[in-house]
Structure 1
C-alpha cells in the first residue's frame, strides 16, 4: 500500500535534504563500486528520508536525530544487501547455501578450531545435519546459515517474525545438537 506524503512531510524532507550528504560523508565509506557509489547512497538516503518523514511523530522528539538514524541504518542495510548479493555471485560453484558457518556461534571455549576447518565440507555437513533435525534445532541451523551470510540476529528475527531472543535460543539449541553430531565433529576436527 503506497501512502501519499502530506505537505508537512514533504516540507520535512526538503528542509532536511542536507542530512543525506552529511550521513554519507561522516558515516559511510563510499567505495565507488557498482551500487556502492555516492549516487547510490544518495538515492537510498532520499528514500529513507521520505520514509522517516512519513513515520515521524512530533510528540516523540525532534525530526533531525530521528531522520539521521533512519538514514544511516538504511545505508548500512544497503551495504549489507550488496555484500550478500556480491558473495552469492562470486560463490556459484558451491552446492550448499553457504560456504562457512560463523565460528562465533559454533566455536566452543575449548580452543581455536578455525585452522582445522574445511569450509566447503563443513557447509555440506551442516546442510546434511539440517535435514535430520526438526523444530528449534532446524531453525537454529537455518539461523546459523543466515548469520554466515551476514544477517544479524535482528534481521533473522524479522524474517521469521519472532524475537531476537528466540533466534539466539534456536542457535544455542542448534549448537548443542551439532556439537553432539558425529558428522559435524568429524568435519571440525
Structure 2
C-alpha cells in the first residue's frame, strides 16, 4: 500500500467534486441493496480518486480530472458488478410466480406440518445422534445441543477454544448428516 505525498493529497482534495458528480450522474443509487447506497458508492469513488492520484503522470498528456474521471467510473462499475454478482435478487412473496402467473410466490410454497417437536424430543434426538456420529459431526451435534440450550456460536467457540466459524462449520456438517439420515428424517415432521 502506497502512502500519498502532499501533492497527491492536494489533487484528491481539489477533485473530490468529481466523485460526487460521477456517483450522482452515472450510478443507480439503491439504498436497499448493501453496497449500492450513496455512501458506499461515494466511498468507493474516493478510493478510486486516491488510486488515480497515486498513479497520475502529467507527462502522458491527460489532465488529472480526465484521468481521475476514467479511473473513478471504472472502479464504480467494477464495484457494482461485484455487488450484483454477490447478491441474489430479492423475491417478494406477493410477486407473481414465473410458472403460474395467476398465483403469487406465497401461493406456491409447500404446506408445512403444523406439529413441531418438543424441546425434550429435540434433546433426545440430538443425544441419540451423538452416539452414532464421531469427529466433526459429533462436535456439531454437541454444538447444536448447546445452541438449543441458548448459547451463542461465540460462546460455544470460546468453550471449545476455537474460532466461531469453526463451530458454524461443525454445525453445518452435523445438519447435513442428520438430513441424510433416514432415522432422523422420519422424526423431522412427525
Is this a same-fold pair by TM over 0.5? no
- Structure having greater relative contact order (Cα 8 Å, sep ≥ 6): 1
* Coarse TM-score class (shorter-chain normalised): 0.3 to 0.5
TM score, norm. by length of structure 1: 0.45
Structure with higher Rg: it is 2
